[in-house]
Structure 1
């Protein structure tokens, strides 16, 4: 075979290999195939406790995992390109992906003595898994042009088209694909679905959907409000900006917000409020409101569980392990919080064990109602409705404090009981810092009096015991001397 024919064969072979469907078809498969198994074996450490620091720790762990998967996919893509003899590689530069290839000199490039040169082509492709799919497709297209010697510098490869594509979208246009983009880098769990639903709600409530998503427009809305609302908008819009890689950061500062004073109920008030459910039910006995007739006992049970265990309300509704709660093997009367809740799985010990019997928390009737309600949960929205129903029932029966105050009461009670801070914090499912802030913030004068009274009482008891011990020692010494005297007299 002549050298020319050999060259033609090699050229045809390369074109044929470039047209092979394996990797190219992979790049065109549905996005779900790329993301479905990304978090299959990923279990971030449950450091989050609902605080900003805890939430950011979990987000950071998820981002690191995503980046590791992305880097692995990038290596695999380049390996496949090399194996299939595509003369293009994909590289990451900052938040973008570029195609690297040896090409004819770019117009205006006056490199002396060269006809070809290695270039990095920026096509406006983001450095994420979705962008990597696009980069693979573009690598095949460019590889064909190189193999066929038909490459030409056009607007696309000069970067003109990619710059033109960066038109500014409206808030509404971003929201059309927000959920899809959001879950490209996150696990889809009950917790993350609830978080996303909150983000979406905040944006729709506060931003005109027809406004362009510019730095100026977003900052103007944020600076038009104050306090917790401003801080919430900063957090939510930061997620939106990062998700769509909008190319700017917010120059706004969070407001320092001092929480309004709230009086945490003592044990006497908590027990008294428990009985208000039955009083309400009796006062409504002749009504036809079936929901109130059938479910008040379940909501009273919910109240008792929150008071006894210091649970977050949703920790009773997300796949509750009722079998374990009622099991004869559950000798310590612990409640198992499902792994799909805010801070993951934990087994909670009752802060007031005697309330389990007092509030009849192992009664099967309210648990059967709970089980029927939980079976109907089809989305995170249903859980949010149940959570809001607790507050509604508090108001309905006349309770003057909030459901979360029962959780704060457990944190304070643990401190007064002398339970080590780490043990109490773990039981409540938050960090030691958050636990300390909770009981310090809501401790109140009455609880301080109790704490001082108990310490003083303990000190008084210790002092009394010391005096008793000293008196006994003196009495023993006196008796010892008497014995010695008697011995001497006997010897005389």
Structure 2
């Protein structure tokens, strides 16, 4: 009897016992082939192959039978793990992959560990979903595709999947910098240079709505409650969700019209002044000072929803009314407006709830134009004075 016949006999015996695995001869070596758990999801089975590294002879077959019995038992006890069956040359790589994934899980636990306050926890959930999870998922995908354990390559490749000069690339760099610090991994020296690019691109800054367009859009919103939302965002440069987390008590005829964004928001408590002040009357915002419940009735309980979900409702409503601008266009337009009111950048940044460096990066184009215009005006003024004398 030759080896192939004996392999067939062995496979028949295992098949009668209900086994979905069999020994196969490929070239001069033996493998086990059949329905096995996915490497990424142990509950997902597919036909796969385990290389045994055994010679295709009778001695090798005896060893293969023992391996087959062991694998069958592991499957029955739900104890099968691919790390025990990869080639020795692959085992180090596999362990590194598992170690990498474990560290990412540790980072997520660390991210939430210090927050016991319900509202802060909800805010952190929003931040995790929007500012960390997408980039970490992409890192995992890149690690799986490249099969590399070189963290420099994983970090750099992940960053470069985002377009240069895009906001996503800058956010990715910021989030991965936090992760790198947790992993005690030193990023490449040119990381900040590669990350550069937060802010509005040329197309965006040219297409910001004018004051006239903003006023016309407000007029065309059919629902009074949503007109208040639009008016608040235009006049105070609020983020989507911040509209529903403000102290509006100053919006009365005798109030100072300075609204307070509550600490439950993304960047915490801060005060905001109106630009243009005349829009308070134009958009009838004093009505909110009398009754803040005039805003749309949406679920604001951060124990059951998130800031991101609340913000999305505004985005959806803009689309529903075919406003042809994005909610954040109102915020950007407000920021540019403050520049030409000559409001100091440090003050504007504080009102927007972000850093001065982020403010100057994002609105660099208009800030530069303002400063240059001021310099030109000063030069012209001096020249006219010389002409007089």
Aligned residue pairs, count: 273
Structure 1 residues 455, 265: CA separation in 2 closer, same or farther (over 3 Å shift)?
A: farther
Equivalent residue, structure 1, for 2:353 = 429
| Contact 1:276–1:398 (Cα < 8 Å) also in 2 | no
Greater C-alpha Rg:
1
Equivalent residue, structure 2, for 1:148 = none
Equivalent residue, structure 1, for 2:149 = 214
For residue 264 of structure 2, the aligned residue among 329, 340, 355 is 340
Unaligned runs of 5+ in 2: 1-94
| Contact 1:312–1:404 (Cα < 8 Å) also in 2 | yes
SS of residue in 2 equivalent to 1:336 = strand
| Contact 1:215–1:248 (Cα < 8 Å) also in 2 | no
For residue 111 of structure 2, the aligned residue among 182, 185, 192 is 182
| Contact 1:170–1:209 (Cα < 8 Å) also in 2 | no
Structure 1 residues 300, 443: CA separation in 2 closer, same or farther (over 3 Å shift)?
A: farther
1:169 aligns with 2:109: no
CA distance in 2, matches of 1:209, 1:436: 33
Equivalent residue, structure 2, for 1:268 = 212
Aligned pairs (5 A) from 1:279-318:
296-318=223-245
Structure 1 residues 224, 204: CA separation in 2 closer, same or farther (over 3 Å shift)?
A: same
For residue 204 of structure 1, the aligned residue among 103, 122, 137 is 137
1:240 aligns with 2:179: yes
SS of residue in 2 equivalent to 1:339 = coil
For residue 161 of structure 2, the aligned residue among 225, 240, 247 is 225
CA apart distance, 1:438:
4.4
Equivalent residue, structure 2, for 1:249 = 186
Structure 1 residues 397, 239: CA separation in 2 closer, same or farther (over 3 Å shift)?
A: same
Structure 1 residues 338, 264: CA separation in 2 closer, same or farther (over 3 Å shift)?
A: same
| Contact 2:142–2:154 (Cα < 8 Å) also in 1 | no
Structure 1 residues 407, 239: CA separation in 2 closer, same or farther (over 3 Å shift)?
A: same
Equivalent residue, structure 1, for 2:56 = none
1:384 aligns with 2:308: yes
CA apart distance, 1:272:
1.0
Q: Please report the TM-score for the alignment, with normalisation by the length of structure 1.
A: 0.45
- TM-superposition CA deviations, 1:140-187 (whole Å, max 9, x none): xxxxxxxxxxxxxxxxxxxxxxxxxx9762555445554322234667
SS of residue in 2 equivalent to 1:414 = helix
| Contact 1:265–1:409 (Cα < 8 Å) also in 2 | yes
Cα RMSD between the aligned structures?
Answer: 4.3
CA apart distance, 1:420:
4.2
Unaligned runs of 5+ in 1: 1-165, 279-295, 471-492
Aligned pairs (5 A) from 1:71-470:
169=98, 172-184=101-113, 189=120, 190-198=122-130, 199-205=132-138, 207-208=140-141, 211=144, 214-216=149-151, 218-219=154-155, 221-222=157-158, 225-227=161-163, 228=166, 229=168, 231-243=170-182, 245=183, 248-251=185-188, 253=191, 254-257=194-197, 259-261=200-202, 262=204, 263-278=207-222, 296-318=223-245, 320-322=246-248, 324-325=249-250, 331-363=255-287, 367-368=292-293, 370=295, 372-379=297-304, 382-442=306-366
| Contact 1:308–1:355 (Cα < 8 Å) also in 2 | yes
CA distance in 1, matches of 2:368, 2:218: 23
CA apart distance, 1:444:
10
